[in-house]
A and B are shown apart, each in its own frame.
Chain A
Amino acid sequence: MKSDDIKWRVIDKPGETFKVHRSIYTDPEIYQAELENIYESNWVYVAHDSQLPNPNDYFTTMVGRQPVIISRDKTGKLHGFINACTHRGAKICRKKKGNAKNWSCPYHGWVFNPEGKILDIKSLDSAEFPDSFNMQDYNLTAIKVDSYAGFIFASLNTEVQSLEDHLAGAKVFMDLFNEQSTEGLEILPGTSMYTHHGNWKMQAENGVDGYHLDIVHASYLQLAALRAKEAAEAAGGTDSVKAIQPTNPDTSGGNYSLGNGHVMIWIDIPNFRERGLGLQYDDLVNRVGEGKAKWMAGRLRQVMIYPNVILFDGISTQIRHWRPLNHEETEVTVNCIAPVGEPVEARKRRLRQYEDFYGASGLATPDDLTEFDACQEGYNGITSPWQDFDRGMKSHIMGADEEAKHLGLEPDSSAPRAADESIYHGEYRQWLKLLLDGAD
């Protein structure tokens, strides 16, 4: 696309207004530009260390439209490749995950190792290749792979900036997440995938949207309160979930813009001692100190790492990542992530809270997905094309607030309420930057 076709779709007047044109959710040409310039030129989240912990483990997934293999070689180093045989293009690794010293393409039997090196071409002696043929030209096509705090990212762009530079301020919150256990985190067995009608950017917005909470999730919040009340009265009530009940996002918590499109919201959880980590709060304080423990156990944090993953730590602990299927359909993959070595009771609590709220089989996520559907339909009303992200603009400040300074965080901006929609400025500035960088 030409930059003139893109830049008018975001109106960014600091202190005055911030608007996006709803065609960004409905225009197939914009979607093609996003695939090329966001998903296939940038870092995207692909997996967690615990999904391929051992030498010769591999994990298959997608980066944008493209199938990839993430592998760990015999020395423990991570690699990534386009999951297509260099011979005739068949997908080589066809399972979600596995362990193999080498990969033999099921089509014509070419063999590769987990470093992508070609080891064997069937019947090479009788191949009669031209003199210019060089077997080493047929190693698997490598992509960039790196990890931070156990979270693995990949990029199809060999010139992409370093992962640490890309993650910017998000690293502080990735560390807070990872330090729940001295042994790190692990993805628990049991993956769920769901699909929804609605552009992928609604995923990136909704997971850091404090404003919708008491409307979209009214049934969830009322039910959680009712359960707690009936269990306390003990007249036949029971509550094995003990759902968290955060403070009001319209008037408390905050948000940060962390650089490169990454943003997060936080809010306090008065009943945090009912959380998996909260059950061991005193031990946590002894290990990391009061200030950090409060952030880790006592505060809901939802950290969106642009463009395709949110690290949730609040309701329970979830990694939610997505890929667009087209401009109006999205596929989401969710996992419960937990501290390694967690006590049995805390693990059970974490799982029950996870299943209660999250996922297309939980009591909350289907209501979000229903709203995405309604938005995608509403965006077809293109006679009414603009929406603003002005809520909270007056108290949105550039740089760090007091909470950020205590954390050692240097955000691009800070805001004093979790419901403020100024949080989207960071996302859409990055969206515009990446699309303009890739424009003609």
Chain B
Amino acid sequence: MAIDQQLTADVADFLFYEADLLDRRDWDDWLSLYEDDCLFWVPAWDDDTVLCENPDNEVSLIYLDDKNRLKDRVWRVNSGLSSSLLRMPRMAHLVSNVRIIEASAERILVHAKFQANAYKLDEYRVDFFFGDYQYELLPKDDSFSIKSKKVIIRNDIIPRQLDFFSV
């Protein structure tokens, strides 16, 4: 496949934009990137080498099968009722290795790598998750929307919390 440099640049810019919205805690604009029937999926690992692939019969760390479930998570942050979310980490998401896997007029499949750094000031500690993003994007106006986002976490022993903003 000939590499469409412009498309790759546009897609990368979109992923950087999403990452920045999470870092800035701009939840409303972040939600607006997602389709109503989107999927946000963080599969669990079965053992060192085997990643779970069937969410209907295997455990996921996070499996949100429409936008209302993403809104649930944002609602919880905004509710002030969750003590774990009253001390939000300062996050910096790094996104790289952006590759177009498949592109058509209808959809674009994208793979990328991420490292999401968390400074937990209340706990005097720094944590981070790293791994892979796998997106299905839909062309929308001059940009894209997110039909699905699969996050493969490669360091999956979780220090206290993993939520949508942590990866």
Contacts and interface: CB of A to CB of B under 8 A. Distances in A.
Contacts of B56: 344, 347-348, 351
Contact of B158 (A192, A347, A354): A192
Contacts of B55: 351
Nearest to B164: A361
A interface, size bucket: 35 or more
B interface, size bucket: 35 or more
Contacts of B79: 219, 222-223
B96 interface: no
B111 to A, nearest CB: 22
A363 B76 contact: yes
B58 A355 contact: no
Contacts of B62: 355, 361
Contacts of B123: 197, 373
B65 interface: yes
Contacts of A344: 56-57
B61 A195 contact: no
B157 A96 contact: no
A191 B75 contact: no
B84 interface: yes
B56 to A, nearest CB: 5
A361 B162 CA distance: 5
B122 to A, nearest CB: 9
Contact of A369 (B59, B63, B65, B84): B84
B159 A190 contact: no
B45 interface: yes
Interface in A319-343: 331, 335-336
Interface string A187-200: 01111111111000
A412 interface: no
A283 B59 CA distance: 26
Contacts of B75: 223, 226
A218 B83 CA distance: 10
B46 A191 contact: yes
Interface in B79-96: 79, 81-85, 87
A190 B163 CA distance: 18
B59 A192 contact: yes
Contacts of A371: 83
Interface string A217-256: 0111011001100100000111111000000000000000
Nearest to B37: A238
A331 B157 CA distance: 9
6 closest cross-chain pairs (CB), A and B: A190-B59, A190-B44, A219-B81, A366-B84, A360-B158, A366-B161
Given A223-B75, A238-B66, A239-B68, 8 more contacts: A97-B47, A188-B58, A190-B45, A191-B45, A192-B44, A192-B156, A222-B81, A366-B163
Interface of B: 42-48, 50, 52, 55-63, 65-66, 68-69, 72-73, 75-76, 79, 81-85, 87, 123, 156-163
